[in-house]
Amino acid sequence: MAHGIIGSYHHSVVAMLAHVLFLTTAVLMLVWLLHYRGGINIRSEDPDQIFNVHPFVMSWGFILLIGEAILAYSTIPMDHRTQKMAHMLIHLVGLILGSFGVYAAFKFHDAVVAPDLVSLHSWLGITAISLFGLQWLFGFVTFWLPGAAHDRTRAAAVPVHVMAGLAIFLLAVCAAQTGLVQKSAGAASTGETKLINVTGVFILLYGVAVVSVVALRKEFL
């Protein structure tokens, strides 16, 4: 009993830490894009402002929202069905924004006449969002579409869905790290480089915190 209580306490603390890391990462990303890179505008004549839409929506709208959707089962104090609905809808918003982020990257490449999909970052990113789209569709059909799957099938699919979701989430984190490395190499100042590096560290810590919440919840709750 005491072991379970301690485990539940640790689970709550790590979940709270994940939310703090979420807010910190979001603020750091905004400071970088607004202070060092001139702002965010998909309709701008400045290619850099067009590009800035990409890291903005991919961090706020894809990685961070995916993490919050994963945390929904641990942090939303409502019944399981409501948690599941929030999980699905937040993921859907993340998928839409992530797709918009990919569009922004392609639009930037068109503006500067640069080739698409030539970096490791782009390969990891396209793979992550493609797998995420398939994962969302699988989850919707299996767990929400009436009559699409039997209860035993749903029960058997849960651990696969959880493991695949965490793997895709961590792949998105890795894609973000490679993208930040690219931008760090071309930073205009030491201050910008340090801010990019700190942002990358916080994204990584957020990923670790989200996965830790899931591990603790599975073990103790």
Q: Are 196 and 187 in contact (CB under 8 A)?
A: yes
Distance separating alpha carbons of residues 127 and 172, to the nearest angstrom: 9
pLDDT at 153: 84
Mean pLDDT of 50-74: 93
Whether the predicted pLDDT of 39 surpasses 90: yes
pLDDT at 28: 97
Reduced 3-state DSSP string for the chain = CHHHHHHHHHHHHHHHHHHHHHHHHHHHHHHHHHHHCCCCCCCCCCHHHHHHHHHHHHHHHHHHHHHHHHHHHHHCCCCHHHHHHHHHHHHHHHHHHHHHHHHHHHHHHHHHCCCCCCCHHHHHHHHHHHHHHHHHHHHHHHHCCCCCCCHHHHHHHHHHHHHHHHHHHHHHHHHHHHHHHHHHHCCCCHHHHHHHHHHHHHHHHHHHHHHHHHHHHHHHC
User: What confidence category does residue 8 fall into, taking pLDDT thresholds of 50, 70 and 90?
Assistant: low
pLDDT at 53: 97
User: What confidence category does residue 3 fall into, taking pLDDT thresholds of 50, 70 and 90?
Assistant: very low
User: What confidence category does residue 118 fall into, taking pLDDT thresholds of 50, 70 and 90?
Assistant: very high
pLDDT at 74: 84
Query: pLDDT tens digits for 161-213?
Result: 999 999 999 999 999 999 999 999 888 899 999 999 999 999 999 999 999 99
* Structure-model confidence comparison of residues 81 and 27, the more confident one: 27
Range of the domain at 190: 2-220
pLDDT at 89: 95
User: What confidence category does residue 148 fall into, taking pLDDT thresholds of 50, 70 and 90?
Assistant: low
Mean pLDDT of 3-30: 81
How confident is the prediction for the chain on average, in pLDDT? Answer: 90
Q: How many domains are there within the chain?
A: 1
Whether the predicted pLDDT of 221 surpasses 60: no
Whether the predicted pLDDT of 102 surpasses 60: yes
